[in-house]
Amino acid sequence: MYERVQGITSKIEINFRNTSIVIIREGAFLDLPQLYLYKNQLENYDQFWFYKTPVLQSINLGQNRLRKIRGGAFINLPSIEYLWLYDNEIEFVDKDAFKGLTNLSILQLSGNKLKCFDFNFYASSKLVAVSVNNNNITYISYETLDVIRRKLKILEVEDNPLQCACLDKRKCPKLGAAVCTFPKTKPSQCLERSDDDFQEGFWVSFARDEENLLKIEEFVN
C-alpha cells in the first residue's frame, strides 16, 4: 500500500494499480513512457506530478475519485497518445483541458458524471476515438458534432440521457445507443439546459456496461 508517491523514474513503465495512493508529490514522475495509476484514491490531478517526461505516451487514471480536469491540465505532456480517465467522479472538464495534446489519439471518459460534452478538439491533434459512455450528458452542440464528424472514427455515447431532439444521426452517425429523453420545456428543440428542466431525481448514473469500456481498448490493440 502506497499513500504517497515521489521521485519515480523508469525507461519502461510505472504500474501502481490498486495501491490506495492518495497523494502524489510535485515532480514525482521523471522520464517514463507509460504510467498506470488506476484503482487508487486520487481526488485531484496535477500536471506538476511530472518533471521532464518528454516521452510519456500513456496515462491511466481510471477508477479513482477525480472530480474535475482543469484547462491545460496536460499541456506539458505533448507525447501523450492514450489518456484513460474512466470510472471517476468527474463532473467538469474545461474546454481547453486537452490543449497541447497534439499526439492524443484515444480519450476514455466513460463512467463519470459529465453533463456536457463540449471540449475543444484542436486541428493539430491526432484524436480518432473518444468514449463518454455512461455519463449524464443531455446535450451535444451541432458545432461539436460537426468537428466530431470530420475528425473521429469512434465516438461512444451509450447510456447517456441525450435529449431526443439532439439525436440527429444524419449529423453524426456515430452516436450509437444513447438514451433518448424529453425535457419539460421545448422538447422538440436541442438546447443546453439547466437541471430544473428535467424531472426530479433525473440525475442518477446509469448502470455501467463493462463491455462498452472494452471497445476502445480493443481499438487500441
What is the per-residue pLDDT across 47-63, written as a single tens digit (0 to 9) for each?
Answer: 888 877 888 999 999 99
Task: Quickly state the pLDDT bin for 93 (edges 50, 70, 90).
Answer: very high
* Residue where the block lists cell 468537428: 147
What's the confidence (pLDDT) of residue 14? Answer: 66
- Order of strands across the sheet with 106-108? 14-15, 34-36, 58-60, 82-84, 106-108, 129-131, 154-156
**Which pLDDT tens digit goes with each residue over 63-90?**
999 999 999 999 989 999 999 999 999 9
Q: For 28-52, give one letter per residue: b (16+ CB within 10 A) or e.
A: bbeebbbbbbbbbebeebeeebbee
Domains of the chain, by residue range, sit at 12-220
pTM over 0.85? The answer is: no
Q: Considering the chain, what percentage of its residues have pLDDT values greater than 70? A: 76
Q: Which whole number is the average pLDDT over 22-50?
A: 88
Q: Which of 9-23, 60-74, 174-188, 207-221 tops mean pLDDT?
A: 60-74
> Which CATH superfamily, name and number, covers 12-220?
Ribonuclease Inhibitor (3.80.10.10)
What's the confidence (pLDDT) of residue 6? Answer: 47
Task: Quickly state the pLDDT bin for 153 (edges 50, 70, 90).
Answer: confident
Looking only at Cα atoms, what is the longest distance across the chain? 56
- Phi, psi at residue 147, to the nearest 5°? -65, -45
Q: Nearest CA to 73 among 120, 116, 38, 111?
A: 120
Task: Quickly state the pLDDT bin for 28 (edges 50, 70, 90).
Answer: confident
